[in-house]
Chain A
Amino acid sequence: MSSLRDLAIRRKLGLLIVITTAGAILMAAISTGVYGRYALRKISANELGVVSDILANNITAAVAFGDQLAAEKIIDGVEAKPSIVAAMVFTSEGEQFASYVRDGFEGHVSIGEETKKGVVGGQVMFGYLLHSSPIEVGGRKLGTLTIQADFSELNEFFYYSGQILMGIALFSCIAAVLLSSKLQGGMVEPILALARVTKRISLEQDFSVRAPKYNHDEIGDLVDSFNHMVGEIEQASSALRESEERYQTLAEASPVGLLRFDTHGEIAYMNERSAQISGLSLEEFQLKGPLTGLHPEDRARVFHLWQEASQNELPLREEYRYLHEDGEVAWVLAQAKPEFDDRGSFLGYIGTLTDLTDRKRAEEERETLIGELEVRNAEMEQFTYTVSHDLKSPLITIRGFLGLLQKDIEVSNEGRIEADIQHIENAVEKMGFLLEDLLALSRVGRIVNPSEKVSLFKLVNDVVRLLSGIIDKRGVQIKVDPNLPVAFVDHARFEQVIQNLIENAIKFMGDQKSPCVEISVRDDQGKQVCFVRDNGIGIDPRYHDTVFGLFDRLNQTIDGTGIGLALVKRIIEVHDGEIWVESEGEGYGSSLCFTIPVVDEVDEEERAKNG
């Protein structure tokens, strides 16, 4: 049945018409045949009865006179009736008196015992029609005439009738098929055309095609409705496409990265800006997962947050970093919202990536600046504190000894007067030095000369010449290493550094018999460390840090403002260098070591920048 249902409409209709036509003809033929057979048999039987009665009547005289020849002659008369195959006359005693059998009849002659018994009337026996008629004269029965006929005549009629019927049936079927195909032209073809258009639309998504309209019947209405519907879909889809294109353009032009995630958290779409910010393409994300490219320090945190949010279908907002292949770090603000369809089922996430790198960089810069300012501020506080303290100190001395001087003059204590004046002089001189040094210190960092290539060897020799007075006075041997590097520094400031360090070394020489100051350089794990080494009193390791503090002085017996090393440290730091003390302790001499940018390194940096 199903195969019948799946047949094309064209075949279905054809088959229906043929079956209906053939069925109708068949029914008519059968009913006509059955009734015809019955009616014709009845007519034949009556006809045979009449023939038999007439013959019996004709033959009565022959039988009555026992004229067998005459009887035979009469009986042979049935030959004119082709359906009669045999005829026999029996006497009332049951003897055969005359008989006829058609030439060529090979069938069974059924006129037997039953007929002899004198039974009259028609009956059908062994496929033949039998009829017996009495031969009587004046009410006296002389014998019986029996005729046997076959249905050949009838059969012949049926044979021809059947053939005519078949012809009609064939003609009807052909007519039906022709008619159906003619009808299909008007009915099936529009449906088929509609089906073809539907198929094309669904396959090619081409909403511009229309189904052809052939008639103004119901199918025509259907085609009209269909075309109208397609038209609306076309409009809607083109509006949708335009809207999508507009959004696409917006998304691509957006300064913010835009992304969509599917329900598995995989990136389904991202715009160009997302790729720029993250440093990765959509393909790379799809290949390596959505958490690719994260900064190693942020990966675990973001992974955890993302997992938690996506499991609970919650929105997400987080700042983190991408580490680009070239080592650049990009700070981003990622925001993602879950998407749901009309029925509330989870579709994934839609998210944005905002580049925070510039802001973060500015923030970092600000933090650095604030930090630097805080350091400067603290230094400034320390500075004002120590300045007020250390400037106040000589003032107290001056005022104090002026008072004492007055008293001593009153009592004319000559010895003390001189000492008082000396104290005052010292304090005034100290104040002068302090002010000078403070001025020098305040210039560091404020007045900056551009750095230049400076041969430290030449610079040190210049300073030594400048200090030849105190050097000769103390009889100090100065050794200058010719391997001293060429530095990239502020020349004038560096003169101050070297001068302070050499002066310091001589100042703290103690009672060394053969004082010596060495200015040299050594290689310390690839870094060039310059140092000023003396064989003076040395510095206890406990105080190695405090020597650089402003106004910190370890030895009160030696003149000094306590600014010198603070100044040196400040200058070295301005040059991004470090300074420290190396000394085994008191009596072992000391080395002041420092690092500064030397020309080789500067060249390398510049090469790196330009490369």
Chain B
Amino acid sequence: MGSETAHGEPLTVLLVEDNLAHAEMVKRSFEDHRVANRIIHVTDGEMALDYLLRRGDYSDPESSPRPHVVLLDLRLPKIDGLQVLKEVRSAEEISRTLVVILSTSAAETDVARAYEYHANSYLVKPVDFMKFTEMMDDLGFYWLGWNYFPWGDGR
């Protein structure tokens, strides 16, 4: 198991999660399986957009690299997940960002709306801890080992 993408790059994940405990669980899962070597955690929609659009505190590309994957919760303070997704898709320089929705909600409307705004995947946090870690594992393998990204170089 490596900590690099199919192209040998380290995987960078932007985790947008307001629940600190959940964020901790995600981080621990990645850490245990060494699937990502960099997780950037923000706690609301506004911060997520600031990061992706490199605004304010996140204007330095060195300390704020573009993520390979964004793990986006739907219910977020200030700007909710769907709105973040919509703005990502409409901002040209980041419109191809890979966004995986990671939500507690399995509601059909949430799923449908997420895909309407072109989410790349929709995952529901399992209550069962074993399944939670399993899903995080698969998530890492999938994006790290198998997935080809829409950009050739390391940006």
Residues of A that sit less than 8 Å from B by CB: 385, 388-389, 392-393, 395-397, 399-404, 423, 426-427, 540, 542-543, 551-557
Partner of A393 from the list B22, B24, B130 (CB cut-off 8 Å) is B22
Partner of A400 from the list B20, B25, B75, B78 (CB cut-off 8 Å) is B25
Of B56-64, B121-129, B147-155, which binds chain A?
B121-129
Residues of B that sit less than 8 Å from A by CB: 18-22, 24-25, 28, 43-44, 75, 77-78, 104-105, 107, 125-130, 132-133
Tell me which of B18, B19, B43, B130 has the highest count of chain A C-beta atoms within 10 A of its own C-beta.
B19
Structural contact, A396 and B105, CB atoms closer than 8 A: no
Count, A-B residue pairs, CB within 8 A: 64
Partner of B129 from the list A393, A399, A426, A542 (CB cut-off 8 Å) is A399
Q: In the complex, A542 Cα to B77 Cα: how many Å?
A: 12
Structural contact, A543 and B104, CB atoms closer than 8 A: no
Asked whether A427 and B77 contact (CB < 8 A) given A403-B130, A403-B133, the answer is no
Asked whether A401 and B78 contact (CB < 8 A) given A392-B127, A556-B44, the answer is no
Q: In the complex, A554 Cα to B47 Cα: how many Å?
A: 12
Residues of A within 8 A of B44 (CB): 556
Interface class of chain B by DSSP = loop
- Cβ of B65 to closest chain A Cβ, rounded Å: 24
Structural contact, A397 and B21, CB atoms closer than 8 A: yes
Residues of A within 8 A of B77 (CB): 552-556
- Cβ of A394 to closest chain B Cβ, rounded Å: 8
Residues of A within 8 A of B18 (CB): 553, 556
- Cβ of B102 to closest chain A Cβ, rounded Å: 11
Residues of B within 8 A of A551 (CB): 75
Residues of A within 8 A of B107 (CB): 385
Q: In the complex, A65 Cα to B107 Cα: how many Å?
A: 190
Structural contact, B21 and A399, CB atoms closer than 8 A: no
Structural contact, A543 and B78, CB atoms closer than 8 A: yes
Q: In the complex, A551 Cα to B24 Cα: how many Å?
A: 21
Partner of B105 from the list A385, A397, A552 (CB cut-off 8 Å) is A385
Asked whether A389 and B22 contact (CB < 8 A) given A399-B128, A400-B132, A404-B28, the answer is no
Asked whether A396 and B132 contact (CB < 8 A) given A385-B107, A551-B75, the answer is yes
Partner of A396 from the list B22, B75, B78, B130 (CB cut-off 8 Å) is B22
Q: In the complex, A397 Cα to B126 Cα: how many Å?
A: 10
Further 11 A-B residue pairs, CB within 8 A, beyond A393-B22, A397-B21, A401-B21: A385-B105, A388-B105, A392-B127, A399-B127, A399-B128, A403-B132, A404-B28, A426-B21, A542-B78, A553-B18, A556-B44
Residues of A within 8 A of B25 (CB): 396-397, 400-401, 404
Asked whether A396 and B28 contact (CB < 8 A) given A389-B75, A389-B104, A556-B20, the answer is no
| CB nearest to A554 among chain B residues | B77
Structural contact, B43 and A396, CB atoms closer than 8 A: no
Structural contact, B133 and A396, CB atoms closer than 8 A: no
Q: In the complex, A401 Cα to B21 Cα: how many Å?
A: 8
